[in-house]
Amino acid sequence: MTVELTINGNKIRAQPGQTVLEAAAENGITIPTLCYHKDLTPVGSCRLCNVKVDGWGRDVASCTLEVQEGMVVHTETPALAEARRKVLELLLYHYHDAGYAEGDRQETEFSHWVKFYGAQLPAGVESQVRYEVDSDPNPFVWVDLNKCILCTRCVRACAEIQCRFVWGVGERGPEAKIIAGPDTTMLESRCESCGACVAYCPTGALDDKLSVGLGTADKVVTTTCPYCGVGCNFDLHVQDQRIIRVTENPEAPVNGMHLCVKGRYGYDFVHHSDRLTRPMVREYLLQGEAKERGADRGAWVEVDWDTALDITAQNLARICHESGPDAVGVLSSAKCTNEENYLVQKFARQVIGTHNIDHCARLCHSSTVAGLSMCFGSGAMTNTMADILDKAGSMLIIGSNTTEQHPVFGTFIRGAVLERDVKLVVADPRAIDITEFAVLHLQQKPGTDVALINGLMHLILREGWHDQDFIHERTEGFAVLRETLEKYPPGVVSEITGVPAQDLVRAAEILALYKPMAVIFAMGITQHTTGVLNVLSLGNLQMLLGNVGVEGGGVNPLRGQNNVQGACDVGALVNVFPGYQRVTDAHAREKLQQALALQDPEGRAIAPLFGHEPGLTVVEMIHEAKKGHVRGLYIMGENPMMTDPDVNYVRECLKAAEFIVLQEIFPSETSAYADVLLPGATWAEKSGTFTNTERRVQLVRPAVDSPGEARQDWIITASLAQKLLALRGR
């Protein structure tokens, strides 16, 4: 059923409940607005969107006026235009542009309508500076209340988009102004510096402090964020080969208008003076000298690319010839693209001939892959983020400080609690930020997660809240699980975990009755000696409740870095080929050997020499370097010095390694132990894709050129592979 009305002489149909403003916009009719934004609750305060309705005695704000059958609306008449001009002129009395940010953006919404309607102050009248410019010490948000028109879009954006409630309106009448908290600083009011208020401000009263005074961009490039696994899209504004601003892209499939402080403001490292710009090798390598094992590596010397790659290829070829391919270890990176990770694992297997290829997922979410594979045969999220946020009746967050680790998704969860009354249970020893939105916070003792989950399942079984049909039709081993759970009554679990028995009962009831329930977890439970069992227990909980294969349910690990999921998917792991085909599977090995076969000078196929057993993990590679079993390391974008809790031992291992090649964008802790240093490109300088935590594959587009002679990582790896193959006579 639709509503028929007439706008500017055109008969249109609208949905019941739509506003006149929305119906007009859907039909290509523009009505001026300032206080209105489609993402925010309309308040109808600025009156710029007023329209004339036949038979009505007064003009009405179209942003709050619902369509009615037979309604006849006029959006642009001489009287309306004059009224809008007067509204804008009244706003101009209190609007003052000090010129600090003049020209930083193409045109604000306010300045656009001022020009459109020819609004101006009377002759001889000038607006006054009433407030200090850049009045807040927030390091990212520029505040100039002289430009504020009290539209309250910042207030509503902070409350409705970010769910943080930093901004409000203080004072009354002509003294009214926007204030942070109880009229204090933004950070003291618990601002997260996400920049949502900046994004929704129509006048420039709020702006990006890093961008003020830099002017406008030459080009705008849409790309994917390089930080966490949420996978936000945004626009990079580039001027003279420098990023000067990051803005939200409303069409972004994951985040829409949402960004966090990292994504919006964490881009300046791209242009940092410490960037590596030329290949470097140790002096002893240029002089053809041998280095004693464990000796100091000596001084760095800048060289050209051919020299650096030749030295690298010669040393890797020598090690392979003398000790076999498994004497070389290869580390890829969850910060690099899918294409680069695929190429590096291909380099390890096809060119070197080893399964010694690994990356940081080994240390964060390998237990997720193992646990979920045991449950479901797949080690990834079972549901999308949007699916959880739109459909879940309750959520269990365990081992995830979501608003810090995955800020945009954490904001979405806060919104789901506030807007849909989703029942949130948080299990965490600490009172993390998201617990403020939880109906129940379970503070279990560290390391007691399995007992806690088993205790919840015991209660679910005891009360008959389990899904017997799902268990019968779609699971195995239920009798064994039931027998195990009998050992976890509330009293025992309370003693083990420190969680009061009444809270265990309440949590079990919430998670069982508010269906579907979504489990969300991260490294707070996976980086444990019991990590696999933690994940397996969560899988059992969801199967017990029948929350698998349903919208809003599932078991949902949040990946830490931007491309952990993708780096695993493309096979940068010791035990699987791309697509999780196991290296122990003879059929998979034969298929990959045929696919990766090379040709000798006579055109005959030569299959790669990789073996039938998994290679060494990242930890094992480093430890075996100290023993001399791994003599060479090729590292792309990883920092082994920071991947082991015993830094001193890692230092000894790297020092003992015979030959280390490091491909990086900055000198890192590991570079002190490298023999060759190859300058790579940042995400803003390369093409490719990232795969986010829900397995959404998204484009990464180059926005600026790499500094100096730095190259995209895939180009470096391909060039090295060609030189190494030439040396090995293939």
| pLDDT surpasses 60 at 103 | no
Rounded mean pLDDT of 463-490? Answer: 95
CB-CB neighbours of 408 under 10 Å: 26
For residues 151-171, one letter each, b for 16 or more C-beta atoms within 10 angstroms of the residue's C-beta and e for the rest, the string is bbbbbbbbbbbbbbebbbeee
| pLDDT surpasses 70 at 730 | no
Q: Give the pLDDT score at 191.
A: 96
Under 8 Å between Cβ of 412 and 257: no
For residues 127-150, one letter each, b for 16 or more C-beta atoms within 10 angstroms of the residue's C-beta and e for the rest, the string is eeeeeebbebebebbbbbbbbbbb
Any alpha helices (H) in 102-222, and if so which ranges?
109-117, 153-156, 196-200
Whether the ω angle into residue 446 lies within 30 degrees of 0, i.e. cis, is no
Q: Give the pLDDT score at 603.
A: 67
Q: Give the pLDDT score at 296.
A: 86
Q: Give the pLDDT score at 377.
A: 84
Could you tell me which residue, 642 or 691, shows the higher pLDDT? 691
- Cβ within 8 Å of residue 699, ≥6 positions away: 222, 223, 224, 688, 689
DSSP code string of 303-322:
--HHHHHHHHHHHHHHHHHH
Could you tell me which residue, 369 or 353, shows the higher pLDDT? 353
Residue 679's beta-bridge partner residues?
A: 664
Q: Give the pLDDT score at 174.
A: 86
Under 8 Å between Cβ of 460 and 512: yes
Rounded mean pLDDT of 372-392? Answer: 90
| Residue count of the chain | 730
Question: Which strand (E) or helix (H) includes residue 511?
Answer: helix 501-513
CA–CA separation, 163 vs 409, rounded Å? 12
3-class SS of residue 26: helix
Is the CA virtual torsion 418, 424, 426, 431 positive or negative? positive
| pLDDT surpasses 70 at 539 | yes
Q: Give the pLDDT score at 366.
A: 74
Q: Give the pLDDT score at 107.
A: 83
Q: Which of 35-44, 151-160, 276-285, 376-385 has the lowest mean pLDDT?
A: 376-385
3-class SS of residue 25: helix
- Cβ within 8 Å of residue 105, ≥6 positions away: 204, 216
| Torsion, CA 315, CA 320, CA 322, CA 323, rounded to 10 | 120
Confidence of residue 729 (pLDDT cuts 50, 70, 90): low
3-class SS of residue 154: helix
CA–CA separation, 450 vs 538, rounded Å? 9
As a whole-number percent, the residues of the chain with pLDDT over 90 amount to 84
**Helices 449-462 and 490-497, packing angle to 10 deg:** 160
Q: Which of 90-94, 328-332, 685-689 has the lowest mean pLDDT?
A: 90-94
Task: Report how far Cα 395 is from the mean position of its chain's Cα atoms.
Answer: 20
In what order do the strands lie in the sheet containing 3-7? 10-14, 3-7, 72-74, 50-53, 60-61
Q: How do residues 406-430 score in pLDDT, each as one tens digit?
A: 999 999 999 999 999 999 999 999 9
CA–CA separation, 196 vs 205, rounded Å? 13
DSSP code string of 362-410:
HHHTHHHHHHHHHHHS--S-SS-HHHHHHH-SEEEEES--HHHHSHHHH
Under 8 Å between Cβ of 302 and 294: no
Query: If 0-12 CB within 10 Å is exposed, 13-18 middle and 19+ buried, where does residue 725 land?
Result: middle
pTM for this prediction: 0.92
Residue 519's beta-bridge partner residues?
A: 396, 555
- Tokens read off for 323: 């000790």
Place of tokens 């990292």: 262
CA–CA separation, 576 vs 379, rounded Å? 13
Q: Give the pLDDT score at 101.
A: 52
Rg of the chain over CA atoms, in angstroms?
Answer: 30
| pLDDT surpasses 70 at 145 | yes
| pLDDT surpasses 80 at 586 | yes
- Cβ within 8 Å of residue 500, ≥6 positions away: 494
CA–CA separation, 342 vs 348, rounded Å? 10
- Tokens read off for 358: 């690994």
Q: Specify the amino acid at residue 492.
A: V
Residue 163's region, left for phi above 0, alpha for psi from -120 to 50, else beta, is left
Q: Give the pLDDT score at 601.
A: 64
| pLDDT surpasses 90 at 551 | yes
Place of tokens 């290869």: 330
Q: Mean pLDDT over all residues of the chain?
A: 93
CA angle 284, 288, 290 (to 5 degrees): 65
Q: How do residues 494-527 score in pLDDT, each as one tens digit?
A: 999 999 999 999 999 999 999 999 999 998 998 8
Give the C-alpha distances (Å, rounded to integers) separating 673 from 400, 577, 633, 666, 677: 34, 30, 11, 14, 10
Q: Give the pLDDT score at 246.
A: 97
Identify which of 182, 177, 186 has the alpha carbon closest to the alpha carbon of residue 152: 177
CA–CA separation, 50 vs 48, rounded Å? 6
Confidence of residue 608 (pLDDT cuts 50, 70, 90): confident
CA–CA separation, 642 vs 650, rounded Å? 9
Place of tokens 């294409």: 339
DSSP 8-state symbol, 109? H
Q: How do residues 293-343 score in pLDDT, each as one tens digit?
A: 777 899 999 999 999 999 999 999 999 999 999 999 999 999 999 999 999
Q: Give the pLDDT score at 56.
A: 94
As a whole-number percent, the residues of the chain with pLDDT over 70 amount to 98
CA–CA separation, 270 vs 480, rounded Å? 54
Identify which of 163, 223, 220, 162 has the alpha carbon closest to the alpha carbon of residue 562: 223
DSSP code string of 629-654:
S--EEEEES--GGGSSS-HHHHHHHH
Under 8 Å between Cβ of 358 and 532: no
Q: Give the pLDDT score at 254.
A: 96
CB-CB neighbours of 286 under 10 Å: 12
3-class SS of residue 498: coil
Q: How do residues 356-377 score in pLDDT, each as one tens digit?
A: 999 988 877 778 878 888 888 8
Any alpha helices (H) in 93-222, and if so which ranges?
109-117, 153-156, 196-200
Rounded mean pLDDT of 132-145? Answer: 95
CA–CA separation, 89 vs 114, rounded Å? 8
3-class SS of residue 7: strand
Whether the ω angle into residue 516 lies within 30 degrees of 0, i.e. cis, is yes
| Torsion, CA 245, CA 131, CA 175, CA 164, rounded to 10 | 40
Under 8 Å between Cβ of 439 and 510: yes
CA–CA separation, 493 vs 481, rounded Å? 16
Confidence of residue 642 (pLDDT cuts 50, 70, 90): confident
Q: How do residues 183-208 score in pLDDT, each as one tens digit?
A: 999 999 999 999 999 999 999 999 99
Q: Specify the amino acid at residue 450.
A: V
Question: Which strand (E) or helix (H) includes residue 167?
Answer: strand 167-170
Q: Give the pLDDT score at 645.
A: 77
